[in-house]
Amino acid sequence: RNGESHTLGHGDATPVTGGGFLIPYAIMLIVEGLPLFYLELTLGQLMRKGSIGAWKAVNPYLVGVGVGSMVISFLVCVYYNAIVSWSLWYLFHSFENPLPWANCPANSNNTGIVEECAKSSATEYFWYRETLNISPTINDSGSLHWGLILCLILSWLIVYLCIIRGTESTGKVVYVTACFPYVVLIIFLIRGVTLHGAGNGLVYMFTPKVEQLMDPKSWIDAATQIFFSLGLGFGSLIAFASYNQKNNNCEKQAVIIALINSLTSVFASVVTFAIYGFKATYNYERCLERMRLLLTNTFDLEETAVNTETLDKWMSFLNATQSDKFATIASQIETCDLQSHLDTAAEGTGLSFIVFTEAIVNMPGPSQIWSILYFLMLLMLGIGSMLGNTAGVITPLSDIKIISKYLPREVMIGIVCLVACLIGLVFNIGSGNYWFSIFNDYAATLALLVIVLIEVVGICYIYGIRRFRRDIEKMIGHKPNWYWVTTWVFISPILIICLVIFYIVDYSMTGTLTYTAWDSTEGRSVKLEYPPHALAVIGLLVAVSTACVPLAAILTFIKKKFKREKY
């Protein structure tokens, strides 16, 4: 802030999920993401403070917005670094030959493969049993996974070393964490589009789905993805922008970075769906081959009699002419449908650690090389995101005089990392993945919508849009045009209010909240209801950040009233 400039890198450019999701994503970017991204950059550059100091300068009663953003960033740091630790775990195992998730392990007496793996798949078994050692329910805590604990400690040590020297070292690290994934994505793009079935995935990605467009949850998901991808509401944008030169053209910067980020998300989606199309096509053709062999062997047909094109006709014919014999294999008959394989796309950790690991195993070429590249990319993306998240915590804490006066920066960062690491240990017990899902689903989604709504209302209607426009003119030489003003004053707040209402109504209509548990006896996922103590944690996660706004306003009012009475 003392004349020091800082280059803003793009956020966690997560891939969009295709189909009907592309349209809500593009609309949300134009009417919500881009305007709010510009607003936060401008606020940080204008006030030259972290989120707490910046909102206190806007209005003392809005200091809770900065506190809420800091709390959200901290909560995201706690669970997001678990993903980094899982990436490290898989990266270390990627040097094994063959890959440990390529085949099912033998059972204890070496008479066959482990039953849980036989009922699921090798990649699912390695994820749920070898990595997570997952318990059947959230009530069963299970035991600590010491291998993952060491990976978690290592991941926090990496983050600490990256941010300890401030924005100078952070900026240098960001160049690596931002550029390396592009290199890997280009490599995977070249390999992915040449894979058999890649076109099926790309067609699936770019085919609009009307039912998704009519579903409010698609719009909520699009808004949430924009928030996470651009870093809106976390306070990290305000923190990084506070290091910009006073006359830096933040408008141009906002447009360029937001567009690069979103185009990167689409680019990553093309790579993702090309490889996912290969995986879906591979599984579909394996299903057809299993059915072909089943009919050929059961009914003693010639080897070339049944093929993929005539499979359905043969099934109908054999069922009609030899119904008794056909009934003996009825339980083994599978419905082979490419669309159903494409529709079963996993999300989040399932996409990264189950779907892609299976695709890597089946990809032509050395699986170890593909695996090392992929998990190195995940590691770089994770560390890059963690740098932004930790900045949303460290910078506002540094602006608090009491903390900066008595705690050296290195000690303060160390305490933050240590506390987050200790809380993160909960993700390394048997029920850890269920607690991870709670943090992932509820720590930031609704809270971010509320925080960003208060941000835009605070700037436009409390600080004053005319005053804000004059401040921008002093910094960059011209006032923001009608697009920025219209979206700030009308479109963005109305849209966010609608999203908040949709979010609340959607969860109200679902009744009891459920989570996805792993049934090891069946080798599949099942839906279970959250117990009361888990619901209490969900309520706490939603309230702990949003409650900062009214509580801080009340404390400010009491403090001002006390000062008036004193003097």
Local structure of 430: helix, strand or coil? coil
> According to the annotation, is 261 in a ligand binding site?
yes
Q: State the pLDDT at residue 4.
A: 35
Helices 146-163 & 409-424 angle (0-180, nearest 10):
160
| Residue 150: inside a domain | yes
> Which domain does 403 fall in, by range?
19-566
Q: Is position 269 annotated in a ligand binding site?
A: no
Return the pLDDT at 109: 84
Q: Of 459, 462, 450, 465, nearest to 550 (Cα)?
A: 450
Report DSSP state, residue 363: S
CB-CB contact of 122 with 104 (8 Å): yes
Q: Which residue has the tokens 């030489």?
A: 477
Are the CB atoms for 67 and 265 separated by under 8 Å?
A: no
pLDDT tens track, the chain, 567 positions: 443 333 333 344 555 555 567 888 889 999 999 999 999 999 999 999 889 999 999 999 999 999 999 999 999 999 999 999 999 999 999 999 899 999 999 888 888 899 999 888 899 999 999 999 999 999 999 899 999 999 999 999 999 988 887 655 566 677 777 888 899 999 999 988 888 999 998 998 888 777 777 877 788 788 888 888 888 999 989 988 988 888 899 999 999 999 998 888 889 889 888 988 888 898 899 889 989 999 999 988 888 888 888 888 988 998 898 888 888 888 888 888 888 878 765 555 777 788 888 888 888 888 999 999 999 999 998 998 898 889 889 988 888 878 878 888 899 999 999 999 999 999 999 999 999 999 998 998 889 899 999 999 999 999 999 999 999 999 999 999 999 999 999 999 999 998 888 888 877 887 788 899 999 988 888 999 999 999 999 999 999 999 999 999 999 999 888 877 766
Report the distance separating Cα 451 and Cα 435, nearest Å. Answer: 23
Predicted pLDDT at 20: 65
Map residue 140 onto helix, strand or coil: coil
Q: What is the pLDDT of residue 15?
A: 54
Half-sphere exposure of 346 (CA within 13 A, CB side): 18
Task: Give the chain's domain count.
Answer: 1
Cβ contact 447:72 at 8 Å: yes
Confidence (pLDDT) at 6: 35
Residues paired with 205 in a beta bridge: none
Beta strands in 163-313 (DSSP E): none
**349 in a structural domain:** yes
Q: Where are the alpha helices (DSSP H) in 299-366?
A: 311-321, 323-327, 338-343, 349-350, 356-362
432 CB burial (10 A radius; 0-12, 13-18, 19+): buried
- Domain assignment of residue 516, yes or no: yes
**Is 232 annotated as a binding-site member?**
no
Give the C-alpha separation, 21 to 98, whole Å. Answer: 37
What is residue 562's predicted lDDT score, i.e. its pLDDT? 84
162 contacts: CB under 8 Å, gap ≥ 6: 169, 170, 173, 383, 387
Q: Would you say residue 12 lies in a domain?
A: no
Tell me if 405 is assigned to some domain.
Answer: yes
The CB density around residue 323, as the number of other CB atoms within 10 Å, is: 10
- Is residue 14 a part of any domain in this protein? no
279 φ, ψ (degrees, to nearest 5): -65, -45
Cβ-proximal residues to 48 (8 Å cutoff; 6+ apart), any chain? 1, 242, 246
How far is residue 155's CA from residue 334's CA, in Å, rounded to a whole number?
43
Closest listed residue to residue 10, CA positions, set 213, 232, 307: 232
Report the distance separating Cα 541 and Cα 71, nearest Å. Answer: 10
Q: What pLDDT sits at residue 152? A: 97
What pLDDT does 169 receive? 59
Q: Which amino acid is at 545?
A: S
Q: How far apart are CA 528 and CA 509, in angstroms?
A: 17
Q: What pairs with residue 514 in β-bridges?
A: 529
Measured distance CA(362)–CA(101) in Å, rounded: 11
Give the burial class of 231: count Cβ atoms within 10 A of its Cβ; 0-12 exposed, 13-18 middle, 19 or more buried.
Answer: buried
Amino acid at 411: V
What is the number of other CB atoms lying within 10 angstroms of the CB of residue 302? 7
pLDDT score for 347: 56
Both tokens of 64, joined, read 């809770």
In the block, residue with structure tokens 């200091």: 63
In a domain, 2, yes or no: no
| 507's tokens | 């969860």
What are the tokens at 32? 């919500």
Name which of 94, 77, 158 is nearest 131 in CA terms.
94
| pLDDT at position 17 | 53
* CATH number of the CATH domain containing 526: 1.20.1740
pLDDT, position 543: 92
DSSP-assigned letters across all residues of 28-97: HIIIIIHHHHHHHHHHHHHH-S-HHHHHHHH-GGGHHHHHHHHHHHHHHHHHHHHHHHHHHHHHHHTTSS
How many CB atoms neighbour CB 468 within 10 A? 22
Annotated binding residue at 448? no
Question: Is the residue at 4 inside a domain?
Answer: no
